[in-house]
Structures are given as structure tokens and as C-alpha cells.
Structure 1
Amino acid sequence: MNQMTSRRSGGRAARRASRAAPLDDTLRPVRPGMEGGTLNVLTPAQIEKIHAAALEALDQIGLADAPQSGIDYMTAAGATLGGDGRLRFPRALVEDTLARANRGITLHGRDPAHDLRLSGTRVHYGTAGAAVHMVDIEGKQYRDSTLQDLHDAARIAETLENIHFLQRPMVARDIEDTCEMEVNSVYACCAGTTKHVGTSFSDPAHAREGIRLLHMIAGGEGAWRDRPFVSNSNCFVVPPMKFATESCQVMEACIEGGMPVLLLSAGMAGATAPSTVAGAIVQAVAECLAGLVYVNAVSPGHPAIFGTWPFGLDLRTGAMTGGSGEQALLSAGCAQMHRFYDLPGGAVGGIADSKLPDMQAGWEAMCSNVMAGLSGLNMVYEAAGMHASLLGFCHESLILGDDMIGQALRCVRGIEVDDETLALDQMREVCLGGPGHYLGTAATLGRMQADHVYPSLGDRTSPKEWAENGKPDLVDKARARKEAILATPSAARFNPMLDAEIRKAFKIHLPM
């Protein structure tokens, strides 16, 4: 009996080890850039109405507060400056811009294996946000986020298969000087991951300093311009329908420096955007179309992501509702508008209003992540780790989010229907003189890895086995994995000579 038990457990252990081993890319059931677009929350007629309303808003209302440089660029392209100081955009100008905008952007990683190709309905999930707190799951409390927290988030993201990019998810509140904080944020992210990084700057001079650092990391300006592995997350508008003057100047500096731009319109439905889902989408589309005109007036064809990013609002309290069904609809509707324009686009998904990684956080994050992916959103930002409506970030939730996004991507992949998957041959074999079940058949074993996504931390054991294993807690498992990741040197770290050169040129706050 003991020998038989040993053989059975040994075989089970071997099978578990085999399932845990990384799959060849050709066998992986999910991967970055899978095609979505099967979910349509808007009809073609509704899309046309939103498009027409956005064009009317640009032509009749326009946007205020552009910097003089922006006014010069956009009026030269065909916008008109009214006596009220607002720039208005004729339909012909918008249509001409759409015709020549860049439709096939590649967001590079420092490692080419992590390049993201944004076109059509190719879906990618990653982080974003500017959380000012870290979630301490042990004490169930919030504390100020630090540069080390940001670096640790980058190191964790580097190891997670379903986190495809790292846009800076938190603010390093332990660095008082804004320029130093923004340059150090670039350093901390790039030293932690070889995936594509997104970050922001508050001043054109800070952007130029950040780009100077990136030249050093890349090995020179030419190497940087060939493969820019950091993009600028740019809140170029202050909704409703006003340009953010300083951010526009930052955007111009980033375009000059060869950095891709995320045109981010983040209105709050019911506060800085119309309260209806359709109205919030109209305003976000109009603002991003104005941004697209701006970018292409500065540099035709410059890589720009159409970042319609409207947020939901709880009208009872004024609190943001990133985890609501309305938020999921906003992002899914925006994804359809990106498809209508055939533009690389991004919006939010995965935000939790819950303060901790609990059941509420799970349903909130999964709802918008699945809908965004099924809608074919190219870049699903804030997809993991975000709590308290973007006020808090949690390393453990980032790790748990990797499992969740794997399941979301399986939904994006959809159902393949062909002669093999219809399985009539299997049914004949099993039912006509066969074993009467499909367990262990060649077809089942041959497809078990390619067709199914298995969670890394999620528990699918029986109650009996769960109890025998010590009743493991999901968050405790995530904490243990975090500690294991951070105990191992990051593959993204800079070589000592380069790091010494960077530290000589910049005041780097992370310890060596």
C-alpha cells in the first residue's frame, strides 16, 4: 500500500511540476496581443451618433487654454481661434487627421520579447495610476507610497506573465523635489522591468531630464529613438473641454524627444463630464480627437495612444466608482470607438473601490477587465493592484491580478470551432466501445495545456485537500510569492558600470 501510495503521489507531483513549468509561446493558451472585439455594447448606429456628436462639440464648443505653441501648431493645421480664446476644429481637419494618424504603433520593451504591437483589437493588460498610498495588508491600513515601493512593483511586474506593461502605478512621495521624483521614477521602473514603461512629467524640463536618462539606459540617443521603451502618460486636457497648458508643453517636449504619447482624457461622469455613459464617451472622444490633431500638427504620424479614460462617479456621494458596472460600460464603449476610428487606444479596467484584496475587489476588477478585453481594447490600464478608487496600490493584489487577467484573457481568446474542437471523433471513440469518459485520452492530454489556463495561486482543491494543506489563504500565498520575487535579483537591473554613470549624472534615491 505504501509503495502504491508513493507511486501515485510521485506521479501527481510530476504532473504538477510539468503543469507549473513555463510553456513554449506556441503552446500558451493566452498571450499578449490576443484579438478581442467580440463584445459590442454599442450598435453601429449608436457609434455613428457618438462620432457625430463629438465632431459637433469640436466644431461648435472647441477647447480652451492651449499654450501659444499649441495654438500656433493647430491653427496652422486648420483649427480656428475664436474671440473667446477657444480653439475650434472643423470636421474636415479632424477627418484629415484621422486619415494620416499612426495606426500601427509598437510600444517597445527594453527586451524585444516584451514589444507590444497596438493595432486592431489586440489586447494588452498592465498597470497605471498615480496612487499616493500603499495598501498594508498585514495591518489593514494605508501608508504613503515610496520610490522603493515603485521599484518593487516593477520587479514584481517583470515576473508576471499576464502583466504586459508597467505604467507607473504610484507616486514616490518620499522625494520632495518634483524633478528628482520624476527622474527617479523612470530609473526605478526601468531598473525593475524590461517591459514597456509608462510615466508622466509635470514640466518640459523634467521630461528632457528623463529623456537624457533614457539615452544613457538605451546606449545613446540613436538607440533610444530606434526603440523608445518608455511612453509619456499625458493628461493633456482638463475636462470639460480645456487643454492642460503645462501638460501640453510637456507633450511637445516628449514628441521632440521621440517618446510615444498616451493622450489621456480623464473626465468624471457627473462632475467634469456628462453623467450619462454616452455623454461621457462623447466628451472623451472629442477631447482625444483634439489631442490627435495637436500631436499630428506637431509631428505627423507620431505614435499616440487614443486614451479615452472617463471614470464613473457615485452621484450620491461624489466618490469615484472605478469598480462599477458603469465603469465597465464606459471602457467597453470607448474600445468600440477606437475600433471605429481604427486607432490604437487605451482605457481603464481592473480598478477596485474596495480597500483591500477581498471579494469586492475581485468582482470589481474582473468585471471591467473582462469587458475591456472582450471589446478589443488595445491597452487595459490599471488592470491590477489598484484599490480605493486609485488612491491605493497593493503588491499582493498585483500578483493576484496576474491570475485574474489570465482568466480574462481566456475569455478574450474565445471558443474555437473546427473539426478537431467539435470532437465527434473523440465522441465515437469514447462512446462506441471505449472507456465511456474522456479522462486520460490522447486528445484530452494533448490539449490540456494549450486550451486551459491554470491559476498560479487560485485554489481549486477539494475542501478535504484544502484542509489537509493547512487551509492556505490566498492573500498569504500572494505575500509569500512577493517575498520570493523580491529576494531574487531583478533581470532588469543595470550593469554596475552603467549604474555608476547614471548615479554620477543624476541624484538617484534608490540604494545600490
Structure 2
Amino acid sequence: MTDQSPIRSGGRAARRAARAKPLADHLRPIRPGMEGGQYTPLTQAGMEAIHRAALTALEEIGLADAPASGVAYLTKAGAILGDDGRLRFPPALVEDALARANRSVTLCARDPAHDLELSGTRVHYGTAGAAVHLVDVEDNSYRECTLQDLHDAARITDTLDNIHFLQRPMVCRDITDNREMDLNTVYGCCSGTMKHVGTSFTDPAYIKDALEMLHIIAGGEDKWRERPFMSNSNCFVVPPMKFATESCLVMEEAIKGGMPVLLLSAGMAGATAPSTVAGAIVQAVAECLAGLVYVDAVQPGHPVIFGTWPFGLDLRSGAMTGGSGEQALLTSGCAQMHHFYGLPGGAAGGIADAKMPDMQAGWEQMCSNVMAGLSGCNMIYEAAGMHASLLGFCHESLILGDDLIGQAQRCVRGIEVNDETLALDQIREVCLGGPGHYLGTEQTLSRMETDHVYPSLANRSSPKEWDELGKPDLIRNATARKEEILSQRSRARFDPIIDKEIRARFNIHLPA
């Protein structure tokens, strides 16, 4: 046995070295775009009932407050403008738009390795929101967000395997001019990550300037239109059942500029949407169907994400409950409706009502992230970093969310059953004349990286080991990881010539 120990040690060292190397994408235990859809809280009859109710709402109630251009587009397509100023949608008009809608949308990234294919039940997790405060874990406080905070969030996102896209998660409160805020948001996000970016715009007049900047980054308008790496997150409705006039005009300009659009309906169940889960889904579906008809009327075939995004509400206090079981059901039910229509869709998951990254935040974020993933939601927005019911964003929580979403994705992947995974040969070998355990067997070692997800920061050591390691603290480790990431130059930074061109044209608030 003594003679064999160096060989065994060398074998272990070789295996450790092999495990340290990144796995090929097809061997990774989790990856973007895995198929969900195992969880189905709605029956087929339930989905059909929601669809019929949404069609009835569109035909009989309709939507108010469309801009003049929207009225022109929609009435030409077949919508009916009533004397009360509301646009009503005949079922045939809606069904025709559904028939023409894309069943698959690719959200491009500046790095094609991060392109997202939205179809079927393929699942992706990312950020989103419009937090006005940054969570400071050092002194348990909140302060206003800045452009630097947003840029740092983009840089952190770029390094995290399980955060698949960056939807602008916070508002730059240090820039008071709305045009400069929108343009600096584009700059701050795109110079921080090579992944797909989503953002909103406050005025349609700003789209032209934003597109000019995006054309410079892409290397020309033709290259931008070939691979648009930014999408417009568009709250085109003000629930219940009203168009958001200014946002609709933004949407029209984004469509003309070749920018994919997230049609976002964000009613509050019990306030601006019905209090029942089914009723809130009906209204969100009706509003997004109206948006789908709108986009189809402007430009048939334009890439659209069906963003049914209803939120939960604590009916005792009126507080938003983004971390509740009801929110998880709302998101999962919406995902099923996306599949019912065969449309690429997105909804909210991973929101914490907790003010800090604590135990409450953990259970709230995991509940909806797992259920949204299991339901096969294509785009799970607000999946990491969001606190205080979307009022606060936390860099440390974003980093911890990478671990949390890794475990959620492992649930999405499910259980593979085949001759190898049934492991009957292993059981026979171990039990009949073998060591009586599976530790260190060839099969265990060969599959430990492909079957299991290992957290980067979560601690799995024994109490004794934990004590010997100095009692590592999760939040402090996340802060250390944040500082490590931000100490390095962003791989998404622009070429100096491109950066100089952008700064000559626009007032960029980030230092060069």
C-alpha cells in the first residue's frame, strides 16, 4: 500500500487540476436556456378560460389613452375606436396578430457567446427593475443610486455565470437631466457587460440619440440592425387597461430603430389589477395581447417579449409582496400563458421584500426563482439583487444571487434517468466485494462536475472546519468578491477610439 500512495496522490492531483479547468458548455451541469416547464399550476382548461376572458376584456372593455399615432396604427389594423375614446379589439384581430407573432426571438449580446434564444420553455435569469436606492451592507443603510453603481452592477453581472443578461436594475439618481440619464444608462450598461442589455427611455425624443450611440458601439447602423444587443423595456400600459401614451411613442421609435421590445404590463394585484391570481393574469394577458397587436400594426414580425408582469400586494397594508408565494404563482401562471400562445415571454422572479440580504431575502428569492424556472419562463427578470420590493439594489446580493440561481437551475434541469444514471453496475461493484461506499469511485469522480452544482460563496464545511477557517461570513465574502471584480478592468470597456467618439458626441458622466 505504501508503494501505491504516490500514484494515488498524483491521480488526485491530476483530477483536481482537471476539475479546475472550465467545463465545455455541453458538459456543464447548468447553463443558459435549459428547458423548464415541469411545473404547471394552470390546467389546460384554466389556460383556455384565461384566454377567453382576455379576449372578452379586449373586445368589450378595450384600452384607453392611446397616442394619436397608436390610434391610427390600431384602427387601420382593425381595432375599433369608441365614443368613449377606448380602443376595442375584435377577437379575430388578436388571433391574426398571434398567428403572425414570432415563436422564437434571439436577444443578441456584444459577445455572441451570450446570445439568448427565447423559445419554448428555455429559461434565462437576469436583473431588472428601477431601484432608486443602493443597499449598503456595511452599515445596513440605503442611499441614492448613482451611475457608477449601475456601471459596477454591469461589471459584476459580466463575471457571473448564472446571471444571463443585464436589464437596467437601478435609476441613476445623480443625473437630473432625463436625456443625459437615459444616454448615460446606455453607456454605463454597455461599457460594463458584453451580455444582452435592456433599458427603458423616458422620452421618445431620446431614442434617436441612444441609437446613434449604439451604432457607434456596434460599428455602424448596419451592424447594429444585424445584431441589436440592447432591448427596450417598455411599460406601454398603465394598468388597469390604459395605454401609457409617452411609452407607446417610445415603443414606436424603438421598433423603427430595430430594437427588440419587452411589452411590460405591471399591474398590482388588489390595486391596479384584480386581487385574485387568475384575475391578475387575465388582465396582464389582455394588456400584452393589445401590445402585441400594436407592435404588429407598426411592423409585423418585430421581435417582441410577452412581458406579463403582475405583482403581488399585501392587502392588509398595501405593501408590495414581490417575495411572496402569490408572486411565485403569478409568475408561473404567466409563464404557462406564454407557452399557451407559443410566444417568447418574461416575468418577474427573485424579488425580495427583505431590506438586506438575510434569511428572509434568501427564502423569498429562491421561492419565485425556482418556481419561475420550473414553469419554463424564458426571461426571469429581477432575479438577483433586488430588495425592499424593488426600491433597493444590492451588489452583494447580486453576487449571492449567482449562487442561489445556480441551485435554482439545478432544480430546472431535473433528473435524468438512463442506464448510466440508474447506476446498477456501480451498486453491484461497490456492494459485491467492493469497498462498500461510493467515495472516490471512477463513476463518482467522473460525474461530480457534470451532475453537481457547487456554490462559489456558500459554506458547506462542518462547524469545526468553519471555526478553523475563521468563521467566514457570507456577506463579508460577497463584499470581498465585489471588490475583487471591481479592481479589474472591465472586458466590456470600449476601444479608446470609440470611447473618444462617444464622449465627443455625448456628455458622459463616468470618468474616462
TM range (shorter): over 0.9
Asked if residue 264 in structure 1 is aligned to residue 237 in structure 2, the reply is no
* TM-aligned CA distance change 1:325 to 1:10, over 3 Å: farther
Asked if residue 468 in structure 1 is aligned to residue 468 in structure 2, the reply is yes
Alignment partner, residue 430 of structure 2: 430
How many angstroms does 1:14 deviate by? 7.5
Runs of 4+, deviation exceeding 3 Å? 4-21
Alignment partner, residue 319 of structure 1: 319
Alignment partner, residue 180 of structure 1: 180
1:293-334 deviation line (CA, Å, top 9, x unaligned)? 000100001000000000000011100000000000000000
TM-score between the two structures when normalised by the length of structure 2: 0.97
Alignment partner, residue 445 of structure 2: 445
Q: RMSD across aligned C-alpha pairs, in angstroms?
A: 1.6
Paired amino acid for 1:270: G
Instruction: Count residues in correspondence.
Output: 509
1:160-184 deviation line (CA, Å, top 9, x unaligned)? 0000000000000000100000000
CA distance in 2, matches of 1:10, 1:206: 62
Asked if residue 303 in structure 1 is aligned to residue 281 in structure 2, the reply is no
**SS at the partner of 1:26?**
helix
Q: How does 1:359-370 map to 2 (within 5 A)?
A: 359-370=359-370
Alignment partner, residue 385 of structure 1: 385
* TM-aligned CA distance change 1:215 to 1:98, over 3 Å: same
Alignment partner, residue 43 of structure 2: 43
CA distance in 1, matches of 2:315, 2:12: 53
Using the TM superposition, name which of 25-34 and 7-16 deviates more: 7-16
Alignment partner, residue 226 of structure 2: 226
* TM-aligned CA distance change 1:17 to 1:173, over 3 Å: farther
Alignment partner, residue 145 of structure 1: 145
Asked if residue 86 in structure 1 is aligned to residue 83 in structure 2, the reply is no
How many angstroms does 1:20 deviate by? 4.7
CA distance in 1, matches of 2:298, 2:125: 29
CA distance in 2, matches of 1:487, 1:222: 35
* TM-aligned CA distance change 1:187 to 1:333, over 3 Å: same
Using the TM superposition, name which of 276-285 and 199-208 deviates more: 199-208
How many angstroms does 1:11 deviate by? 8.7
Alignment partner, residue 121 of structure 1: 121
Alignment partner, residue 58 of structure 1: 58
Structure 2 residue runs of 5 or longer lacking an equivalent are none
CA distance in 2, matches of 1:97, 1:507: 41
How many angstroms does 1:22 deviate by? 2.4
Q: How does 1:265-284 map to 2 (within 5 A)?
A: 265-284=265-284
Paired amino acid for 1:43: T
CA distance in 2, matches of 1:425, 1:9: 26
**Identity rate, percent:** 77
Structure 1 residue runs of 5 or longer lacking an equivalent are none
Asked if residue 165 in structure 1 is aligned to residue 165 in structure 2, the reply is yes
How many angstroms does 1:441 deviate by? 1.1
Paired amino acid for 2:225: R
CA distance in 2, matches of 1:237, 1:313: 19
CA distance in 2, matches of 1:498, 1:238: 38
How many angstroms does 1:21 deviate by? 3.9
Q: How does 1:202-241 map to 2 (within 5 A)?
A: 202-241=202-241
Q: How does 1:469-488 map to 2 (within 5 A)?
A: 469-488=469-488
1:265-289 deviation line (CA, Å, top 9, x unaligned)? 0000000000000000000000000
CA distance in 2, matches of 1:27, 1:465: 31
Alignment partner, residue 417 of structure 1: 417
CA distance in 1, matches of 2:446, 2:19: 13
1:42-71 deviation line (CA, Å, top 9, x unaligned)? 111111111110000000000000001111
Alignment partner, residue 509 of structure 1: 509
**SS at the partner of 2:126?**
strand
Q: How does 1:98-113 map to 2 (within 5 A)?
A: 98-113=98-113
Using the TM superposition, name which of 370-379 and 204-213 deviates more: 204-213
How many angstroms does 1:17 deviate by? 6.2
1:416-461 deviation line (CA, Å, top 9, x unaligned)? 0111111111111111111111111111111100000000001001
CA distance in 1, matches of 2:344, 2:138: 40
